[in-house]
Amino acid sequence: MIKIFRKIRQQLLTENKFSKYLIYAIGEIILVVIGILIALSIKNWNEGRKNKETLNNIYTIIKQDLETDLLNIDKIFTSMNLNEKMLMKVINQTMTFEDYKSCEPCQRVLHGFPDYTFQERGIKLLENQSQFTNNDLKATITDFYSELNTEIDVDIESINIGFNDNQYYWKNNKSWFTDFIRGISNDEFIEYALNSWDYRNRASEFHVLYYELYFGHLKEYKQRAKKIIEKINKTIN
């Protein structure tokens, strides 16, 4: 093809047909430009297709992360529902000495709690892919993780502060602490739990921090995660 174009150019120059040569040269330039534009379009199309595949793969990982989170949140709710019932008996002062003696978990309602570290494989991949332009789904996912992870981290930090304060106070002020920390029933602790406004206050604080704030944010996490999974399914299918 190049030899043919060169032969045509030489023939026009030899015949001294400059105007025709000029028209031909312009046409050749236009053809070259068109060829370049077509090549760029194909390249951009291929890059766009690869980016879409990469983005959909990341969305699939995010979906898997959220499904794992939902299962683990349900496990937390299940494991802590009984604990809340016991805690409310403490707060409402309906717990009896016999309840404490016959129910070892009743003595542990303020001693430890399950928290959860959320899956973040997908969101980290999404944040590290700067070539992806922002779209509604990406913005929804990014806002979701930014808002709720921050709120839940604050909840856990507040619960930990209260838990550590309890341990520090009991360790330095209560003779029964050694038995308590080792899981040994102690009548002095039971009397404290039954009659002390301090213990009731600590139970009330824990209920607010854990069951109202932390559980509240976990429930919101579940609701929004389910909607994101639905949007991801529509996008990748």
pLDDT digits (tens, 9 = 90+) for 56-114: 899 999 999 999 999 999 999 988 888 899 999 999 999 999 999 998 888 889 887 77
CA dihedral 170, 172, 175, 180 (to 10 degrees): 40
DSSP-derived secondary structure letter, 209: I
Confidence tier at 3 by pLDDT (50, 70, 90): low
If one compares 189 and 133, the residue with the highest pLDDT of the two is 189
**Number of domains comprising the chain:** 1
Residue whose structure tokens are 């060169």: 6
Burial label for 47, CB within 10 Å (0-12, 13-18, 19+), is exposed
**Average pLDDT of 143-171?**
93
3-class secondary structure, 200: helix
Confidence tier at 52 by pLDDT (50, 70, 90): confident
Confidence tier at 183 by pLDDT (50, 70, 90): confident
* Cβ neighbours of residue 189 closer than 8 Å, sequence gap 6 or more: 107, 174, 176, 179, 180
Q: What are the start-end ranges of the H helices in the chain? A: 2-14, 18-91, 97-102, 121-128, 136-173, 177-181, 187-195, 197-206, 215-236
CA 201 to mean position of chain CA atoms: 33
If one compares 51 and 205, the residue with the highest pLDDT of the two is 205
Burial 114-144 (b: 16+ CB within 10 A, else e): eeeebbeebbebbbeeeeeeeeebbeebeeb
184-188 long-range Cβ contacts below 8 angstroms, 24+ apart: 185/100, 185/101, 185/104, 185/107
pLDDT of residue 219: 95
pLDDT of residue 67: 96
The rounded distance, in Å, linking the Cα atoms of 133 and 121 is 20
Q: Both tokens of residue 163?
A: 């838990």
Q: By residue range, what is the domain housing residue 142?
A: 2-236
If one compares 165 and 12, the residue with the highest pLDDT of the two is 165
pTM attached to this predicted model: 0.76
